[in-house]
Amino acid sequence: MQRRYRIRRMQTAAESGDPIWQLIGKREPPEPAERSRLLRCGEIAAYEMVPWGSNYTFLAALADEQGEPRALAIYKPRQGEAPLWDFPDGTLYRREYAAYLVSQWFGWDFIPETVIRDGPYGVGTVQAYVEAEDDSHYFNLRASHKLDLQRLSIFDIIANNADRKAGHLFKGVDGKVYGIDHGLTFHAQPKLRTVIWDFVGEPMPEPLLAQLAACLGDAAAVAALRAQLAPLLSHGEVERFFARAERVLAVRAFPGFNPGRHHNIPWGFT
């Protein structure tokens, strides 16, 4: 508890007193390559706490070499993670990054670019901020974005996502559907908790299965991903991840509720 109290006391907006949004103002957003560079090494020039969620999360302004704020990001420090009974302490930020790496490996570009780096409260993830359409969440996307939701559902099954709430996916103002908040993933034991139960028993889309099969069939790509995941997850968690992916290819249909588990939908599902 002392760790969380310290962050609460130190939490601050920009030293200038300007809100984060005003610091960025009407500037043109950086190009993708510049945004990636800012995520990796841009100064976190200002930050303010996002006032919801179980863990400490900050909206941050990333500045260029001239000290000019150029982009917004979400910063989640390791020391702001609330202890959990079923996930090892201090590992959620690594799971966030692992989820991003896996989504990229599948060719499913729905998680905003994410890096691990140092920040005002130590090491954590810094993720590109994506502006969402007004009132955009799972319940408003069900009728119009079936394939996107199926892709997210398959990812959650393979990543063993224990926290797919309705607000953890949304449509950006750029028209893409995004998924965020992947700290509770990759546990070795079955943990799937999600609001996406629309497709129970349906066959999974063949194009998505073909992408998955191509990834798992490339020995060099599998070895490369294993090397990336090794410092982030336990050996058992990595092995179970690949086992779940192989099982999805074997079954090829969306699963139903797990009768052996008490919770199949995340707490506070919105």
Report if residue 77 sits inside a domain: yes
Report if residue 103 sits inside a domain: yes
| 49-53 long-range Cβ contacts below 8 angstroms, 24+ apart | 49/11, 50/74, 53/181
Report if residue 196 sits inside a domain: yes
Strand partners, 169: 179
User: Would the pTM count as exceeding 0.85?
Assistant: yes
Stretch 240-254: mean pLDDT: 98
What are the backbone dihedrals phi and psi of residue 111, each rounded to the nearest 5 degrees, phi first?
A: -100, 125
Amino acid at 246: E
What are the residue ranges of helices labelled H in the chain? 2-10, 20-24, 32-41, 92-106, 138-141, 146-159, 206-216, 219-229, 235-251
Report if residue 111 sits inside a domain: yes
What is the number of structural domains in the chain?
1
Burial class (CB in 10 A: 0-12, 13-18, 19+), 250: exposed
Report if residue 263 sits inside a domain: no
Stretch 204-228: mean pLDDT: 98
Report if residue 261 sits inside a domain: no
Which residue from 100, 98, 116 is spatially nearest to 230, judged by alpha carbons? 98
Stretch 70-81: mean pLDDT: 95
Residue 12 has pLDDT above 50, yes or no: no
Radius of gyration of the chain (CA): 19
Tokens 């750029």 belong to: 174
Report if residue 24 sits inside a domain: yes
Report if residue 270 sits inside a domain: no
Q: Are 5 and 81 in contact (CB under 8 A)?
A: no
Stretch 59-67: mean pLDDT: 93
CA dihedral in degrees (228, 98, 259, 145; nearest 10)? -120
pLDDT class of 258 with cuts at 50, 70, 90: confident
Rounded Cα distance, 196 and 111, in Å: 17
Q: Are 170 and 133 in contact (CB under 8 A)?
A: yes
Residue 208 has pLDDT above 50, yes or no: yes
DSSP string for 145-205? -HHHHHHHHHHHHHHT-S-B-GGGEEEBTTS-EEE----S---SS----BS--TTTTPBPP
pLDDT digits (tens, 9 = 90+) for 136-191: 999 999 999 999 999 999 999 999 999 999 999 999 999 999 999 999 999 999 99
Range of the domain at 100: 2-251
